């Protein structure tokens, strides 16, 4: 026996020595592997300076969001911005031991690895929130053993350097949750149109279930899957004791109810695009789309809505006046299938009284089923009665039609009317007289169809809306509105030969005052005045008012052959109610970085254009246009208003630019190409009703104010002029 014991000692020693060698080798190998895997790890210290890319937001004058620029839709939130119900839901479904582990849940990893090895798959799953954060911030999404080790090492480092609330906040702001939303604050705003703080239990559970597979569990495209995933989260919360059985049962019984956030850029897309171009030129694309700038603009959301509605209603009225023209695009004829077609207008539900393109799915003798988005209304013969044609003769399956939405029901139904889009376009600009702030801008009928901004980029002949520059020059040089001039046939000798103009109505009124000549938009008096003071003088005055276009110096310019953008023409007219002072139009009042540091602040650019005497007299003369002239339709409006119509040859452009004591608005209607709007489509008929609808909405419930009266000595001069003898017809001199 003793011999065996003595002989066994070397065997035991050798065994222990072998174990020690193996252990040392394993430790060395592990250390070597860790060294290899950690050599190219990113520095966790970077997280202390890290801030994810965030949305640049544009605000209107009252702090309402009107647009965003971003590569990723993300709104940065603090830990306290995420309610307990959301934090509990996320931890229960993604990482039950989040507040207890040190970045890695070893037992979950071993269990997941065993299952993966058993199934022959790669190492995956079992990631803690910290590991997911490390992967999302620093690593590639590939599912390899190498990446998993790096993920684990990074998670441990993150846990050593940051608190649990800090880690949770970084994760909650970073994670992708579908439909372009990154982070739970952005997701809450997108899916439910409210901040995360206001989430209900069933809503928080829905969002907490999305990180696993945002596209697969999307409540927008796969509501059935989203519902099952939400209920799984609720069950996990119940198991963890975060909610009671009653709360879980009540939440599970509720359907998924979404309130998808409308794209803020859709309210004023042409306006927002102008700002984007400016910001990118000044700050660069990266800063604009990733740095979370705060851009405070001059726009007024309420006025913008009224402007868009007014323009679209006015275009619809014009289309109906000219009857059904047909020529509808047809998806079947283009080789597409009806069930595969999707229109850009369908990206969001239209509003009541809004306009949208729709697809005709089927047509019978007296009805047509149309689709837009999830809506499937039916058009009846009554809805197309204005065309004076039978429904079956004008609509066919596959046609793309233009509709006005009259009512929307929660069950997906809608009441609509058939409208028409023949290509007519328009623009509307509204400017605050005192500050120059652009309060509303519509650059065209449909931004999805054309990004061209007709309010700022379209140089169009302004017609008779140019005449106020002629009369301003005369008044500013000492003339009076009650001076007289003869409206009679005349021939001007010009460089290109004799020029014999005529009035719009083909008639002549003889001796009339300048006030009446402008109010009735008589052509002959305007040309005589321009000829007398010199067309160069008239053009100089137009430039003083802010018109930058190159205007050729020939006499017909006095009748509006000059091409000016709606923005410049509208801004120029704001000089009249502003006592002769021009305040340059502006979009932006202030720009700050994400922390609130001011990057730029815009102050009004102010310039004296004409004397207050001239401005007040011209305002009174333009007021006469509304009270007794070509814009008399606006006389019934209960506000002090003034302005000027404009119509070009062959009715290619229709204008009305007018103002109240506080607001100036300009409207243009026409085709993008030089094409007639049709006989008698004057500024008074095509543009003025749009202007009236907008101004009624803009001024409703507000103190309208009063125009400053002309100087007292001018009134005395008017009284003396009344007794002066008339001038014989044919005399073109001023009196």
487-509 residue pLDDT tens: 999 999 888 889 999 999 999 99
Any bridge partners for residue 670, and if so which? 425, 653
Tally DSSP H helices, then E strands, for the chain. Answer: 22, 25
What is the reported pTM?
Answer: 0.82
Per the annotation, the verdict on 450 as an active-site residue is no
Q: Is the pLDDT of residue 688 over 90?
A: yes
Among residues 54, 57, 92, 94, the one annotated as catalytic is 94
pLDDT reported for residue 706: 95
**pLDDT class for 74, splitting at 50, 70, 90?**
confident
Q: pLDDT at residue 471 above 90? A: yes
pLDDT at residue 46 is higher than 70: no
Whole-angstrom distance, CA of residue 301 vs CA of residue 235: 43
Q: What is the DSSP string of 512-553?
A: EEHHHHHHTT-HHHHHHHHHHH-HHHHHHHHHHTT--S----
Task: Find where tokens 């053993």 sit.
Answer: 145
690 vs 697: CA distance, rounded Å: 11
pLDDT at 685: 98
pLDDT tens for residues 176-204? 999 889 999 999 999 999 999 999 999 99
pLDDT of residue 719: 37
Confidence at residue 93, expressed as pLDDT on a 0 to 100 scale? 93
Contact 402, 420 (CB under 8 A): yes
Residue 610 confidence (pLDDT):
97
Look up residue 635 and give its DSSP letter.
G
* Known catalytic residue at 464: yes
Check pLDDT > 90 for residue 722.
no
- In this structure, what token pair is assigned to residue 486? 């003869």
pLDDT range class, residue 138, cuts 50, 70, 90: low
Residue 327 pairs with which residues in a beta bridge? none
pLDDT of residue 30: 46
CA distance 694 to 671: 21
Give the pLDDT confidence score for residue 629 in this predicted structure.
97
Local confidence band at 24 (pLDDT 50, 70, 90 cut-offs)? low
Percent of the chain with pLDDT over 90: 69
pLDDT at 3 over 60: no
CA angle 235–73–587, rounded 5-degree value: 145
**Given this model, what pLDDT does residue 343 score?**
87
CATH superfamily of 74-263: Biosynthetic peptidoglycan transglycosylase-like (1.10.3810.10)
Both tokens of residue 513? 């005052």
The Cβ-side half-sphere exposure at 648, using a 13 Å CA radius, reads 23
List residues bridging with 592 in a β-sheet: 294, 598
Confidence of residue 151 (pLDDT cuts 50, 70, 90): confident
pLDDT band at 51 (very low <50, low <70, confident <90, very high): low
Does residue 701 or residue 18 have the better pLDDT?
701
Tell me the mean pLDDT in the region 654-671.
98
581 or 8, greater pLDDT: 581
How many whole angstroms separate alpha carbon 414 and alpha carbon 403? 11
Length of the chain: 735
What's the rounded mean pLDDT across residues 335-360? 88
Q: What is the pLDDT of residue 717?
A: 46
Among the listed residues 38, 25, 31, the one whose alpha carbon sits nearest the alpha carbon of residue 149 = 38
For 425-721, CATH gives 3.40.710.10
**pLDDT bracket for residue 374 (50, 70, 90):** confident
Buried residues in 371-387 as b, exposed as e (16+ CB within 10 A): bbbebebbbeeebbebb
Any idea what DSSP says for residue 687?
A: I
Q: Which residue has the higher pLDDT, 279 or 8?
A: 279
What is the reported pLDDT for 72? 79
| pLDDT, averaged across the chain | 87
Whether the predicted pLDDT of 17 surpasses 80? no
Domain ranges in the chain are: 74-263, 329-421, 425-721
Distances (CA, A) of 635 to 105, 285, 621, 641, 718: 78, 49, 14, 8, 24
Q: Strand 181-182 to strand 73-74: parallel, antiparallel, or no bridges (unpaired)?
A: parallel
217/71: higher pLDDT: 217
**Other Cβ atoms closer than 10 A to 176:** 17
Range of lowest pLDDT (148-152, 302-306, 427-431): 148-152
Report DSSP letters for 573-584, one per residue.
Answer: HTTTTTTTEEE-
Q: Token digits for 178?
A: 């579908």
Per-residue pLDDT at 630 exceeds 60: yes
pLDDT band at residue 115 under the 50/70/90 scheme? low
Q: Which residue in 54, 127, 298, 464 is the catalytic one?
A: 464
Asked if residue 658 lies in contact with residue 633, where contact means CB atoms within 8 angstroms, the answer is no
Q: CB neighbours (10 Å) of residue 559?
A: 26
CA distances from 583 to 380, 579, 600, 668 (A): 51, 11, 19, 22
With cut-offs at 50, 70 and 90, classify the pLDDT of residue 298. Answer: very high
HEC per residue, 47-85: HHCCCCCECEEEECCCCCEEEEECCCEECCCCHHHCCHH
Q: Check for a shared fold between 74-263 and 425-721.
A: no
Q: Give the containing element (helix H, strand E) for 656.
A: strand 653-659
Under the banding of pLDDT at 50, 70 and 90, the label for residue 345 is confident
As a whole number of angstroms, the distance between CA 140 and CA 147 comes to 8
Burial class of residue 235, CB neighbours in 10 A (0-12, 13-18, 19+)? middle
Task: Give the CATH architecture of domain 329-421.
Answer: Beta Barrel (2.40)
Query: What φ, ψ does residue 125 adopt, rounded to 5°?
Result: 75, 180
Average pLDDT over residues 544-569: 96
How confident is the model over 705-722, as a mean pLDDT?
A: 63
Q: What is the pLDDT of residue 681?
A: 97
For range 332-361, the mean pLDDT: 89
Beta strand 400-408 with 378-380: parallel, antiparallel or unpaired? Answer: unpaired
> Helix, strand or coil for residue 723?
coil
User: What is the rounded CA–CA span in Å between residue 253 and residue 259?
Assistant: 19
Q: What is the pLDDT of residues 394-443, one digit of tens each?
A: 999 999 999 999 998 877 789 999 999 999 999 999 999 999 999 999 99
Count of other CB atoms within 10 angstroms of residue 452: 14
- Candidates 289, 557, 589, 570; CA nearest to 443 is 570
pLDDT band at 105 (very low <50, low <70, confident <90, very high): low
Distance, CA of 468 to CA of 576 (rounded, Å): 10
Is residue 713 predicted with pLDDT exceeding 70?
A: no
Structure confidence at residue 4 as a pLDDT band (50, 70, 90): very low
Of the pLDDT bands very low, low, confident and very high (cuts 50, 70, 90), residue 83 is very high
The residue-averaged pLDDT of 73-85 equals 91
Query: With bands split at pLDDT 50, 70 and 90, how would you rate the model's confidence at 446?
Result: very high
CA distance 229 to 178: 15
3-state SS assignment for residue 213: coil
**pLDDT at residue 469, rounded to an integer:** 98
pLDDT recorded at residue 113 = 52
């Amino acid at each position: 026996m003793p011999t065996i014991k003595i002989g066994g000692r070397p065997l035991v020693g050798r065994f222990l020595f072998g174990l020690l060698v193996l252990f040392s080798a394993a430790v060395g190998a592990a250390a070597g592997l860790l060294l290899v895997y950690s050599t190219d790890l990113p520095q966790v210290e970077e997280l202390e300076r890290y801030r994810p890319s965030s949305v640049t937001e544009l605000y209107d004058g009252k702090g309402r969001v009107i647009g965003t620029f971003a590569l990723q839709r993300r709104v940065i939130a603090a830990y306290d911005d995420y309610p307990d119900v959301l934090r509990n839901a996320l931890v229960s479904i993604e990482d039950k031991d989040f507040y207890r582990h040190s970045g890695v849940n070893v037992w979950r990893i071993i269990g997941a690895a065993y299952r993966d090895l058993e199934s022959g798959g790669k190492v995956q799953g079992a990631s803690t929130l910290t590991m997911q954060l490390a992967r999302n911030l620093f690593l590639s999404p590939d599912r390899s053993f190498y990446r998993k080790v790096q993920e684990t090492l990074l998670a441990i480092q993150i846990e050593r350097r940051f608190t649990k609330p800090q880690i949770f906040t970084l994760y909650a702001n970073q994670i992708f949750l579908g439909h372009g939303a990154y982070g739970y604050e952005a997701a809450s705003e997108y899916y439910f149109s409210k901040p995360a703080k206001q989430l209900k239990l069933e809503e928080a559970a829905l969002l907490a279930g999305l990180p696993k597979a945002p596209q697969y569990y999307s409540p927008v495209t796969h509501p059935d899957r989203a519902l099952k995933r939400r209920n799984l989260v609720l069950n996990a919360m119940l198991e963890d004791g975060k909610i009671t059985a009653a709360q879980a049962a009540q939440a599970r019984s509720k359907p998924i109810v979404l309130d998808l956030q409308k794209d803020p850029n859709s309210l004023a897309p042409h306006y927002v695009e102008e700002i984007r171009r400016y910001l990118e030129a000044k700050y660069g694309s990266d800063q604009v789309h990733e740095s979370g700038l705060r851009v405070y603009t001059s726009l007024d959301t309420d006025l913008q809505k009224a402007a868009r509605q007014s323009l679209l209603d006015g275009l619809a009225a014009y289309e109906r006046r000219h009857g059904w023209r047909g020529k509808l695009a047809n998806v079947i004829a283009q080789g597409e299938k009806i069930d595969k077609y999707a229109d850009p207008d369908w990206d969001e539900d239209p509003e009541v009284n809004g306009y949208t393109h729709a697809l005709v799915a089927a047509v019978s003798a007296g009805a047509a089923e149309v689709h837009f988005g999830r809506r499937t209304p039916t058009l009846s013969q009554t809805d197309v009665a204005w065309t004076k044609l039978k429904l079956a003769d004008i609509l066919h399956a596959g046609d793309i039609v233009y509709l006005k939405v009259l009512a929307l029901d929660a069950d997906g139904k809608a009441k609509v009317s058939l409208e028409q889009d023949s290509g007519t376009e328009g623009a509307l600009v509204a400017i605050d007289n005192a500050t120059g702030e652009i309060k509303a801008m519509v650059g065209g009928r449909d931004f999805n169809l054309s990004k061209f901004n007709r309010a700022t980029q379209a140089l169009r002949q302004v017609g008779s809306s140019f005449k106020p520059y002629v009369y301003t020059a005369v008044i500013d040089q000492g003339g009076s509105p009650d001076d007289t001039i003869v409206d009679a046939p005349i021939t001007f000798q010009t460089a290109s030969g004799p020029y014999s103009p005529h009035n719009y109505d083909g008639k002549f009124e003889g001796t009339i005052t300048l006030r009446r000549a402008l109010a009735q938009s008589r052509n002959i008096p305007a040309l005589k005045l321009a000829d007398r003071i010199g067309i160069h003088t008239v053009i100089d005055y137009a430039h003083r008012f802010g018109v930058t276009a190159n205007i050729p110096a020939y006499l017909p310019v006095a009748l509006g052959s000059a091409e000016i953008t709606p923005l410049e023409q509208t801004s120029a007219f704001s000089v009249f109610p502003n006592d002769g002072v021009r305040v340059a139009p502006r979009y932006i009042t202030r720009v700050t970085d994400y922390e609130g540091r001011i990057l730029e602040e815009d102050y009004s650019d102010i310039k004296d254009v004409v004397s207050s005497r001239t401005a007040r007299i011209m305002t009174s003369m333009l007021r006469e246009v509304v009270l007794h002239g070509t814009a008399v339709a606006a006389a019934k409006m209960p506000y002090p208003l003034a302005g000027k119509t404009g119509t070009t040859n062959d009715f290619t452009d229709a204008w009305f630019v007018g103002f109240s004591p506080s607001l100036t608005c300009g409207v243009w209607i026409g085709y993008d190409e030089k094409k007639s709007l049709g006989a008698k489509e004057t500024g008074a008929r095509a543009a003025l009703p749009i202007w009236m609808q907008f101004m009624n909405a803009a001024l409703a419930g507000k103190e309208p104010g009063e125009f400053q009266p002309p100087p007292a000595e001018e009134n005395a001069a008017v009284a003396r002029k009344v007794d002066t003898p008339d001038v014989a017809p044919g005399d073109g001199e001023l009196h």
